[in-house]
Structure formats: structure tokens, C-alpha cells
Amino acid sequence: MNPKFPEPPGKYRAFIERFPKLGEAWGCIHEAGASGPLDERTARLIKLAVAIGAKSEGAVHASARKAKALGISEEEMDQVVALAASTIGLPSTVAAWTWIKDDGPRHKA
């Protein structure tokens, strides 16, 4: 885990404890995606955009938490949401924006 990032949610940690091989595989997938010319901030914004496009609430929450830990501003994340609007439509865009905004204490346990 990147030391800049907050501790993963408790349910994620419990899942990885229950299924350690999936955790190892996930680590390999992460390493493969991290190797390349993109800097960490750009890669994190792309990960947020992909999560928004996939309409994956959990991935949007995780990407937003990690983006904040890297110092990515709310305004930068808002721009990613706005860029997604023409592709995913207004209802999905509003949902993604609320997922970023409601990333509060209930998601840190």
C-alpha cells in the first residue's frame, strides 16, 4: 500500500484477509498499471475517471480518497466529473459527484 494513502476500509481488509490470493493478484494488477510514463497524480485522475465511467460507487469512493491523499483538489476532481458528463449522462454524473462529495468518515472504517 502507498504510504500516502489512507488505510483501506475495514471490509476491504477483511476481504483480503479471507482471500489472500486475490489480494496478491490485486497487488500484481496494481503494479502492472503503475509502471509507465504517467505521473501518480495523472494516473489517479484517470483511475477516478474510469471509476466514474464504470458507475462503480466503491471505486469512485476509493479513487477520491486516494486523490485527496495525493493533494488533488476538489476542483480537479470536479473537472473529471464534468468531463464525464457528455459520455455517461446527467443522472450518472450527479451520482458520481455525490459519491466524491460524501466520502466521509463512514467510508474510513
Number of domains within the chain: 2
CA–CA distance, 109 with 46 (Å, rounded to integer): 25
Residues 64 and 77: beta-carbon distance below 8 Å: yes
For residue 64, give its domain range: 39-107
Do residues 25 and 70 share a domain?
no
Do residues 21 and 74 share a domain?
no
The pLDDT value recorded for residue 5 is 80
**What is the percent of the chain where pLDDT is above 70?**
91
Do residues 69 and 83 share a domain?
yes
Residues 86 and 57: beta-carbon distance below 8 Å: no
Residues 6 and 108: beta-carbon distance below 8 Å: yes
- Judge whether 2 lies within some domain: no
Report H helices in 54-107. 57-69, 74-88, 90-101
The pLDDT value recorded for residue 107 is 41
Stated pTM of the model: 0.81
Do residues 70 and 19 share a domain?
no
Do residues 17 and 49 share a domain?
no
Residues of the chain with pLDDT under 50: 105-109
CA–CA distance, 109 with 107 (Å, rounded to integer): 6
pLDDT tens digits for range 32-44: 988 999 999 999 9
Q: What DSSP designation does 8 have?
A: P
